[in-house]
Amino acid sequence: MPPNRLVLVRVLVPLVLPLLAASLAPRAQAQELSVLGGVTHSSDFAQASYAWQVDYRQDFFKHFAASIAYLNEGHVTGHHRDGNAWQVWGNVPFWNDRVALSLGAGAYYFYDTQPLPNGDTQNVHGSAPIFSFSATGYLNDRWFYRFMANRINPSSGRKVNTAVIGAGYWFGPNRRPLGQQPNEGKSEVGYVTESQLTAFGGQSVVNTFFSEKAWAGAAEYRRGLLPHLDVTATYLYEGNPKVIRRSGVALQLWGVNTFIDRDTSVGIGVGPYVNIDHKHPATTGVDVGRSNPAAVAPLVSLTIARHLSERWIARLTWDRVTTTYNRDADVFLAGFGYRWLD
C-alpha cells in the first residue's frame, strides 16, 4: 500500500468509527467541555514539562460516559508530543450528584515531533492505550472543576503520566446536578445543520522544532446529513511558511452537537485532504525533482460556531494535517459565514 494511503487508513479509521458511533447514538444526557492545565512526567520521573488538555465528555447513562480530548504533553528533550484521545468512562456520582469520580480507558493517537541529526525534523505518528482518573465537583447548575490524571502507555517510545486541573461548563439543555429539569421535553433530536458557506483567515504552523508560521485561509461549504452528522467540502490554503507551500481540497464528516438553544455548536471532523505542496519534490517516477503531484493526507479538525443572527454565523476551526514526509501542520482559522434553509 502506498505511504499516503497507509497513513490515511491508519489515522482515519480509528477516528471515523467513534465519530459515527457518537453522532448516531441516542440523545445524551450531558454535554461537558473543560480546559485543563498541569504537568507531564516521564514514567521514571526523570523529565518533566507542562501539559494541557481540552476535553469534551457526554454522559449516555448515569454511570457511563464517552469523551473526545486533545492532549498536549509539552516539550521534553527530543520530543514535542500531542494527540487525540477517545475514551469510555465509568462514573460514580455522590453527594446528590455534586461530586463524581470516574475511571476512563481508550485509545490515544499521537503526533511526536522529533529532531534529526542533520537539523531537520521528523513527525512520528502512532497510537497507545490511555488510562485516566478524574474527580469532578459541580459548583452550580453550569460550572464545574475537574482534576484528571492520565497514563499514556505505548508499546514502544515514551511512557508518560500527566496531571491536570481546570474548569468546565455544562452545555446541556437541562441543569446539572441532576434534579429539577426546567427544559425537560425540549428535544434537539431532530435538528440538522442547515447549508452554510464560510470564509476563513488565520495562521498555519508547521510541526517542526522551528514552528515555521504563515498566513492561511479557507472557504468551507457545510451541510447536515443527519442529526449530529455534517459533511463539508473545504478549500484550504496553508500559506507559505518557507518549508511548505501547500493547498488543496478536503472532504470531511463531522460529529456535531448543539448547546442550550442551538445557537452554539461544537464538532470534530475527519477526512481526506487532497493537496499539492510546491516545496516538496517528487522522489519516485517520471516526476523526480519536480513539484510533487497531488497527494492525499488525513485532516482532523475541531470547530466551534455561534449564530450571530438568523443568517450569519461566526466559526473557529483548528485543522491538523498529517503527512508522510515530516511536514505535519496545524492551521488555526476564524471566519464568518452565511446560512440558508433549502
Between CA 4 and CA 277 the distance in angstroms is 14
Question: Comparing 28-170 with 195-340, is the CATH topology the same?
Answer: yes
Fold observed for domain 195-340 = Porin (2.40.160)
Are 52 and 76 within 8 A, CB to CB? Answer: no
Q: What pLDDT is stored for residue 46 in this prediction? A: 82
pLDDT at 187 over 50: no
Query: What integer pLDDT is reported at residue 309 of this predicted model?
Result: 92
Q: Is the peptide bond before 177 cis (omega within 30 degrees of 0)?
A: yes
Give, in order, the Cα–Cα distances in Å from 277 to each of 240, 315, 337: 10, 27, 28
| Cα angle value 283/250/244 (rounded, 5°) | 40
Q: Among positive and negative, which fits the CA dihedral 312, 56, 211, 273?
A: negative
Taken in order 202, 297, 85, 191, the sign of the CA dihedral is positive
What is the domain partition of the chain in residue ranges?
Answer: 28-170, 195-340
Share of the chain above pLDDT 90, in %: 61
Can you give the pLDDT at residue 157? 79
Nearest by Cα to 246 from 285, 293, 208, 284: 293
Mean of pLDDT values over 282-301: 70
Q: Residues near 328 by Cβ (< 8 Å), separated by ≥ 6?
A: 111, 113, 123, 206, 207, 320, 321, 322
CATH of the domain spanning 28-170? 2.40.160.20
pLDDT at 158: 86
Banded pLDDT at 290 (limits 50, 70, 90) = low
